[in-house]
Each structure stands twice: as structure tokens, then as C-alpha cells.
Amino acid sequence: MSPKNVNGVNMRKSRSSFKKPLKKNPRKADAYHHGDLKQGLLKAALRHLEASGPETLSLRELAQELGVSQAAPYRHFKDRDALIAAISQEGFEIKYQKMREAMLATMDRPVEMFHACARAYLDMALEHPQHFRLMMSGTVCPDEDRPDLMIAACRSFVLLKIMIQRCQRAGVIAAGDPNHRALQCWALVHGFASLYSAGRLEWTGIHRENAAAAFDLMIEQVRAGIGNAPLPSKLEFVPFVEGESAKRVQLMEVLEQQLLGETPEFR
């Protein structure tokens, strides 16, 4: 009972019988007051992922680390997978922003733009290794149950496709299905980034001192070789676009128009 509401109370009750208000955990109060608990959980999860895998991630342990109640994290993430999905989404958004900035800085130099986008992908992988591992780990995949994550993943691929189309129009990449060309580039750059970040390229002679040069040479070889040699007709590739795949193709078409509308320079 508050000291202000004392009417009708037996005043013979000693002052000591009134319980002192509990002292609030300042970290918990700050987190709720400033609305940064969600970001705090994301940062704490990334620290955890530096030393361990996503399978050991625990919302309750993160709550204990941040000094909040065990129920508090569930106001932002319904379960561990939701937290992992949020980290993955953040990773795709970082990758998208880096690639977009690289494109805008090199719009009038298509060959350089091709290289800059590839380096932006590699930089993201090396600067944000926990995000990078989760994005492609299969632990939580972009799908219709996680629309925000799926949109973030699709946006970065659509941006890559737009870059390929600009390079094709400039004549620095041969004509052909831009989706397939984008897939070629993505697979190659992602493969290098994954192997290098895992320390699996040292036996090939690629180390910190020469990794950038090795990467640039590989990217230029790919750019110069894409579509320049005729393929046997039996190697024809027909994308599967039925069911859920068809919905995602439609989503990427919508996103492409949105991106071109947001950044007319990409047209």
C-alpha cells in the first residue's frame, strides 16, 4: 500500500511493517524504456555464435546475460528459430546495402561495378561471419512462414540480377538469361567466401596477403568467360517454376520493379 493512502489503516502498525519497494534492475528498466531489448538480444546472440553453433542458442540464457526476466525475450521472438531468422534477415539486409552502395559508386564503369559487387559480398562475409554462416546454413530457411526473411533474401538476388543486366547492356557480359548468369556469379563468389572464411584455401596458396588479388583475378576470369563459349544444346537449363517456386518467382518480379522504382539509376 502506498504511504499516500493511509486513511482507515490501523496507525498502530509500525512503519517497519510496510515493505520497501523492490529495487529495479537498471539494465532491465533501461532495456524496456529505451526499446533496445530486441537489439540487445541480437547482439548477445551474435556474441554467443562466435564461440558456439546455433543449436546451443537459448533465449533464457540470453535473458540472464542481459539481466531481464526469462519471459522478456519472448515479447520479441517467439522462439529460438525466430531469433535466428532475425539474424539471418539482418545479414541479407547488410549484404544488400553493401552491394547497392558498390553499384551506385560505379554505375558508369560496368566492369568495375561487376568487381565491386563481388567484393561487397566477400567483405560482408568477412566482416559479419556469424550472419554469413546463418544466412546459408539451412538452420532457418527463407520461406512463406518467414516473409520478412524471404523478402530480404530475394531482394539481394534481384539486385544481383539488375547488376548483371546492366553489364549485359554495356557489353561486358554476354547475353543470356540474367537469372542464370546471376546464379553463376552468386555460386562462385559465395563458394570463395565460404572456403576462405573457413581457412580452407591456404593449401592452394591463398593467404591474407594475396587473397584480394586471387579473388579479383577469379572474378575477372568469370566475367570474361561468361557466355563467350557456345554450350552444347543438351546442357539446356529450364527453371522449375511450379507451386511455391512460382510464387517466389512472382515475388522477385515485384521486388525488381520496386527496386528500379526506388533507384532509377539502376534502369
Of 44, 77, 110, which one is at a domain's C-terminal end?
77
Q: Is the pLDDT of residue 147 over 50?
A: yes
Residue 29's CATH number: 1.10.10
CB under 8 Å to 179, separation ≥6 — which residues? Answer: 161, 239
| 15 is a domain residue | no
Check: CB of residue 180 under 8 Å from CB of residue 187: no
Residues 92-98 have a mean pLDDT of: 97
- The C-alpha atoms of residue 42 and residue 30 are separated, in whole angstroms, by 16
Residue 78 DSSP code: S
| 13 is a domain residue | no
Give how far Cα 28 sits from Cα of 45, 78, 86, 175, Å: 17, 19, 22, 57
The average confidence (pLDDT) of the chain is: 83
Residue among 125, 131, 112 nearest 46 (CA) = 131
Q: 231-256, pLDDT tens digit by residue?
A: 565 556 666 555 667 777 888 889 99
Domain range enclosing 54: 24-77
Check: CB of residue 101 under 8 Å from CB of residue 124: no
| 137 and 243, same domain (yes or no) | yes
| 63 and 189, same domain (yes or no) | no
pLDDT for 35 equals 57
pLDDT for 212 equals 94
DSSP assignment of 170-236 equals HTSS--S-HHHHHHHHHHHHHHHHHHHHTT-SGGGT--TTTHHHHHHHHHHHHHHHTTTSPPPGGG-
Residue 154's CATH number: 1.10.357.10
pLDDT for 91 equals 96
Number of alpha carbons in the 13 Å side-chain half-sphere of residue 174: 13
- The C-alpha atoms of residue 234 and residue 57 are separated, in whole angstroms, by 47
Residues in the chain: 267
| 186 and 137, same domain (yes or no) | yes
- pLDDT category at 117 given cuts 50, 70, 90 is very high
Check: CB of residue 227 under 8 Å from CB of residue 176: yes
Cell numbers at residue 5, please? 493512502
pLDDT for 15 equals 42
Lowest mean pLDDT among 21-30, 64-73, 144-153, 159-168: 21-30
pLDDT for 249 equals 80
- The C-alpha atoms of residue 96 and residue 118 are separated, in whole angstroms, by 12
Q: What number of helices (H) and strands (E) belong to the chain?
A: 10, 0
Residues 8-12 have a mean pLDDT of: 43
Q: 17-73, pLDDT tens digit by residue?
A: 334 444 444 444 444 444 589 999 999 999 999 888 888 888 999 999 898 988 999
pLDDT for 95 equals 97
Three-state DSSP state, 66: helix
**Torsion sign over Cα 196, 132, 105, 224:** positive
Listed in order, strand segments (DSSP E) in 15-116 are none
Check: CB of residue 37 under 8 Å from CB of residue 72: yes
- pLDDT category at 137 given cuts 50, 70, 90 is confident
pLDDT for 43 equals 93
| 199 and 106, same domain (yes or no) | yes
